[in-house]
Amino acid sequence: MAVLVTGFEPFAGLLHNPSHALIEHLPHTLGGEELVRATLPVDTQAVVQRLETLYAAHQPKAVLHLGLAQGRSLLSLEQVALNLLDFDIPDNAGHRRQDQPVLEGGPLALLTRLPYRDILEVWKAAGIPAQLSNSAGTYLCNQVMYLALSKLPQDVPTGFIHLPPDETLALSRPQPYVPLEVQARAITLALETTLTFALPNQPRLDR
Ligand code: PCA
Q: Which pLDDT belongs to residue 18?
A: 98
**Residue 140 near ligand 1, beta carbon < 6 Å:** yes
Catalytic: which of 9, 52, 65, 78?
Answer: 78
**Residue 164 near ligand 1, beta carbon < 6 Å:** no
What is the number of the ligand 1 atom nearest to the C-alpha of 163?
A: 6
The count of other CB atoms within 10 Å of the CB of residue 24 is 11
Q: Which pLDDT belongs to residue 205?
A: 45
In sequence order, what are the residues at sequence separation of 6 or more whose Cβ sits closer than 8 angstroms to the Cβ of residue 4?
36, 38, 54, 55, 58, 60, 62, 63, 64
Angle ∠(15,27,147) on CA atoms, nearest 5: 60
CA 205 to ligand 1 center in whole angstroms: 31
**Residue 60 near ligand 1, beta carbon < 6 Å:** no
Q: Which pLDDT belongs to residue 197?
A: 87
Q: Which pLDDT belongs to residue 201?
A: 54
- Taking the mean position of all CA atoms in its chain, how far away is CA 78? 8
CA 120 to ligand 1 center in whole angstroms: 22
Report the chain (207 residues): mean pLDDT per 10 consecutive residues.
Answer: 96 97 96 96 98 98 98 97 97 98 98 98 98 98 98 98 98 97 98 87 45
Separation CA 167–CA 190 (nearest Å): 21
Q: Which pLDDT belongs to residue 199?
A: 72
Q: Which pLDDT belongs to residue 198?
A: 78
**Residue 17 near ligand 1, beta carbon < 6 Å:** yes
Q: Which pLDDT belongs to residue 203?
A: 45
133, 90 in Cβ contact below 8 A? no
**Alpha-carbon radius of gyration of the chain:** 16
CA 161 to ligand 1 center in whole angstroms: 10
Residue nearest to ligand 1 atom 9, measured at CA = 141
Pocket test for ligand 1, best of 68, 82, 102 (most atoms within 8 A of CB): 68
Pocket test for ligand 1, best of 5, 42, 82, 161 (most atoms within 8 A of CB): 42
pTM listed for this prediction? 0.95
